[in-house]
Structure 1
Amino acid sequence: MKEELCVHLVPLFNQLSLERQRQVEQLVHHQRIKRGTIVVSPDMDDRLMIVKSGHGRMYQLSEDGEERVQRMLKTGDYVGETWLLGVANHSSYVEMTTDSDICILNRQDFIQLIHHQSEIALKLMAGQAAMIESLRQQTRLMGLPNIEERVVTYLKQLMVDQQSSKVKLPLKLKDLSSYLGTTPETLSRTLAQLEADSKLTRHLRTIQIIHL
C-alpha cells in the first residue's frame, strides 16, 4: 500500500527523496478539523499549515474588521512559510470551509530541518517568489479604475492559467468580490452585463468566454 505522506502533497517537500520526506513527516502534527474552524490567526503565527484534504480560505482583517480574501486553499496548499522564518502575522487568518485534515509543522522543528536540508530552503525561496507574483497580480487588478476592467482582466488570466476559454471560478462570488475589491451585488451585475453583451455565458461558477 502506498504511503500517504502529508508532506508529499506540498511542492516544497515532494521533490525530496522518499527517505527525506519520511524524516519531515515525523515532524508534522496531524489534525482533523471541523468546517468553520480558524486554524491560523495572528496569535498562531509560528507554524506552517498544510491542507492534507479539504478546503479553506485565507483572509485579512482590515482595521474596521472587514474581511479581504487573499487565497482559497485546497488539498496540497500550504501557508505560513514567512511566519516560520520569523515574520510576524499581523492580520491573516485561515478558516477551513469544509471538514478537513491538516498538518502543522512548527517553527522550531522547521528551522532545524532547513539547517540540515538546504534544498528545502531553496524551494522555499522559489515558493515565496510565486506568492509575491500572485500578490502583484492582485495589486494590478485593484489598480484598474472600474470593476468591469478588473473582471475582464481576471477572466483573461484564468483562461491562461486553465488553458481554456471555458473556465471555472475558483472562488465563490462573495470571496471573488472581496478579492476584486467590490461587492457581490456589483460583481453579479457586471457578469450579467457581460453576458448580455454576448461576451460570455455563465452557469453557476463555470464561464464560457466568447469574446473579451
Structure 2
Amino acid sequence: MSTAFLQQDNLPSTLRNVVVLRYLKQQQKLFRRGEQATAVFIVKTGRLKILRPTDSGKNLLQETVTKGHILAENALIEDFYPYTAIAEVPSQVIAYPKQVLLFSFREYPELAQEFIILLSQKIQNLQHRLEWRNIRAAQERVLVYLNHLAQHNHQSTLAILDYPLKEVAAELGLTPETLSRALTRLEQEGKITRFANYITLHHPKIINKK
C-alpha cells in the first residue's frame, strides 16, 4: 500500500501546509452528491461507504472505502461530487485541496506516481468486485470472496470480517438473506467455521475466478 499520502510529514510543504485531518462520527456525511468538489480524500482510520442514487430514488452502495484508500478522486476533473460519502464507523480522513494537489503533481512527479499507485489499487478492488458478481452461485461467490479476504490479510485460512454482514452482502451484490444462507450452507458442508468477527476457511486453495 502506498503510504506517502498518509504520512503528512513526507508531503511537499506547499501541500502539507493545507491538508486537513477531518474527524467523522458514525453516520456523519463527509460530502453529499452535488456539492462543490473542492478536495480529494484518503481514509486514515475507519471506514466510509459510497452511495449513488438509482433511477427509483434509492441509494445504492457503490463501494466501501477503508484505511489507506482514496475517495473523491473525481474532484480532480469534475466540479461536483458524483456520490455521497458517509462514515460507517468513527473515522478520520485526510483532505487534500484539489488545486494545490494538482499543482503539487506538476512540481513533484514522484508524488503523482504515488497517487497513480493509489488509483491502481482502487481499480484493482473494483475489478475484484466485478469478478465476484459474475459468479452466479451464491456459495461459490462467497467462498471466493472469503479467500480473497484471507489473502489480502496475508493469511491462508483466516478471513477477517470487520464490517457488518449487510455491507458484505451489498459488496457482493447479494441480499443479506442470501448471504446468510450461503454462509450457513458452507459451514454445514465443512468448508468454513464462523466466529464473531472472522471465518476460518477449510479449503483455502480456492482461486479467485474471473
TM-score by length of 1: 0.81
Give the letter for the 2:129 counterpart: Q
Aligned to 1:205: 197
Q: Is the 8 A contact 2:48 2:89 kept in 1?
A: yes
User: Of the candidates 39, 44, 50, which is equivalent to residue 47 of structure 1?
Assistant: 39
SS of residue paired to 1:126 = helix
- CA distance 1:10–1:22, shift in 2 (3 Å): farther
Does residue 193 in structure 1 map to residue 175 in structure 2?
A: no
Structure 1 residue 153 displacement after superposition:
1.2
Structure 1 residue 156 displacement after superposition:
1.8
Q: Is the 8 A contact 1:60 1:70 kept in 2?
A: no
Aligned to 1:73: 66
- CA distance 1:35–1:51, shift in 2 (3 Å): same
How far apart, in 2, do the equivalents of 1:50 and 1:204 lie? Answer: 29
Aligned to 1:158: 149
Aligned to 2:139: 148
Q: How does 1:59-138 map to 2 (within 5 A)?
A: 59-64=51-56, 65-74=58-67, 76-86=68-78, 89-90=81-82, 92-138=83-129
SS of residue paired to 1:145 = coil
SS of residue paired to 1:144 = coil
SS of residue paired to 1:189 = helix
Structure 1 residue 131 displacement after superposition:
1.3
Does residue 34 in structure 1 map to residue 43 in structure 2?
A: no
TM-score by length of 2: 0.82
How far apart, in 1, do the equivalents of 2:94 and 2:134 lie? Answer: 36
- CA distance 1:29–1:20, shift in 2 (3 Å): closer
Structure 1 residue 10 displacement after superposition:
6.4
Structure 1 residue 152 displacement after superposition:
1.3
Identity %: 22
How far apart, in 2, do the equivalents of 1:96 and 1:111 lie? Answer: 26
Structure 1 residue 48 displacement after superposition:
1.1
Give the letter for the 2:61 counterpart: R
How far apart, in 1, do the equivalents of 2:50 and 2:140 lie? Answer: 25
Structure 1 residue 197 displacement after superposition:
0.8
